[in-house]
Amino acid sequence: MNKLKVAIQKSGRLYDDSLKLLKECGINIQFRKNQLKAFALNFPLEIFFIRDDDIPQYLEDSIADLGIVGYNIFSEKRKRIQVKERLGFGKCRLSLAIPRQLNYRGIKDLNGKRITTSYPILVQEFLTKHRLNAEIQEISGSVELTPSIGLSYGICDLVSSGSTLFMNGLKEVETLLQSEAILASSMLLEEDPIGKKLMKELLFRIRAVINAKNNKYILLNAPINKLDKIMLYLPKNLTLSPFLLNYQFCVIHTVISEKDFWRVAENLKIFGVFNILVMPIEKIIY
């Protein structure tokens, strides 16, 4: 092998973010619209643009070495492939929904009912796990329509904002799976020394980009006499810089997780921290 073959979605919800991720990894891809194959100019990598549903099969057959696909598709297709990294975009959940006006007392209400879905394997797994007996009708699109035309009692489909369910008079009653885009690899890639090395290089870059996205660089002024309390809210690997205003204050630089930011900021304010600057980070290499 002299090039990594990477499969990404041809068009759809994962297309833009998949290309953006490769670009953020410093990989420069040139292609024209509707082209189904493209090459990177500065990394030994070739891209195949295909339907997301076909990506697991391409990986199992080693037609592609790596693929970017929803965890939902990976879980439904049951192919012999490996998850290498969660990529943080394309987030959604696979949920069961029923007409809003129906009274739902719990999963037992699904017994004996018909459910329409494009995810028959995951739905069957859920039913078996809860010892439920319901009929699954596989359908490839417009699943949300089916209860209102009498085809099903409920549906199982992907939800992100919830507005499609709402517009179709449905309510979410059970969540089967949380999903996001993943990087998956073919089993054979591990056995090819060059392929393995190239995958390692690509993963190194992808992880640096993901780490940066999940974190923020913060710079703040803190009163010295409250430092012991302030430190409790900040990570250990921070930098303390020159004292300000007659040794009463210092500047702290550190990196904190995006999800913790508001909770930490509120607590820091209580201890007299001021001028908190928050900046995005491009890459973090630990």
Q: Which is nearer to Zn ion, 53 or 125 (CB)?
A: 53
Q: Is 92 in the site for ligand PRT (CB under 6 A)?
A: yes
The order of strands in the sheet holding 66-70 is 29-30, 37-40, 45-50, 4-9, 66-70, 181-186, 81-86
Q: Which is nearer to Zn ion, 52 or 60 (CB)?
A: 52
| CA distances in angstroms from 185 to 124, 151, 213, 222, listed in the order given | 26, 38, 23, 47
Binding partner at 72 among ligand PRT, Zn ion, none, C-beta below 5 to 8 Å by kind: ligand PRT
Of positions 46, 65, 76, 157, contacts ligand PRT by CB under 6 A: 157
Q: Which is nearer to ligand PRT, 91 or 229 (CB)?
A: 91
Binding partner at 40 among Zn ion, ligand PRT, none, C-beta below 5 to 8 Å by kind: none
Of positions 13, 77, 114, 283, contacts ligand PRT by CB under 6 A: 13
The 163-192 site mask, x for binding ligand PRT (CB under 6 A), equals: xx--------------x-------------
Binding partner at 229 among Zn ion, ligand PRT, none, C-beta below 5 to 8 Å by kind: none
Question: What is the smallest separation between the CB atom of 228 and ligand PRT, expressed in angstroms?
Answer: 45
Q: At what angle do helices 15-24 and 193-213 cross, to 10 degrees?
A: 100
Closest CA to 210 of 21, 72, 52: 21
The order of strands in the sheet holding 92-99 is 135-138, 114-117, 154-159, 92-99, 170-179
Please list, in sequence order, all residues whose beta carbon lies within 8 angstroms of the beta carbon of residue 104, skipping any fewer than 6 positions away: 98, 171, 173
Binding partner at 46 among ligand PRT, Zn ion, none, C-beta below 5 to 8 Å by kind: none
Let me know: does 156 contact 117? Beta carbons within 8 Å.
yes
Question: What is the smallest separation between the CB atom of 75 and ligand PRT, expressed in angstroms?
Answer: 10
Q: Is 157 in the site for Zn ion (CB under 5 A)?
A: no
Question: Which listed range, 46-54, 99-107, 207-215, 227-235, lies at the site for ligand PRT (CB under 6 A)?
Answer: 46-54
Q: Which is nearer to ligand PRT, 91 or 113 (CB)?
A: 91
Of positions 17, 53, 201, 260, contacts Zn ion by CB under 5 A: 53
Q: Is 81 in the site for ligand PRT (CB under 6 A)?
A: no
| CA distances in angstroms from 247 to 57, 169, 221, 224, 231, listed in the order given | 64, 63, 12, 7, 18
Strand pairing report for 92-99 and 66-70? unpaired
Q: Which residues bind Zn ion (CB under 5 A)?
A: 52-53
Q: Which residues bind ligand PRT (CB under 6 A)?
A: 9-10, 12-14, 51-53, 70, 72-73, 90, 92, 157-164, 179
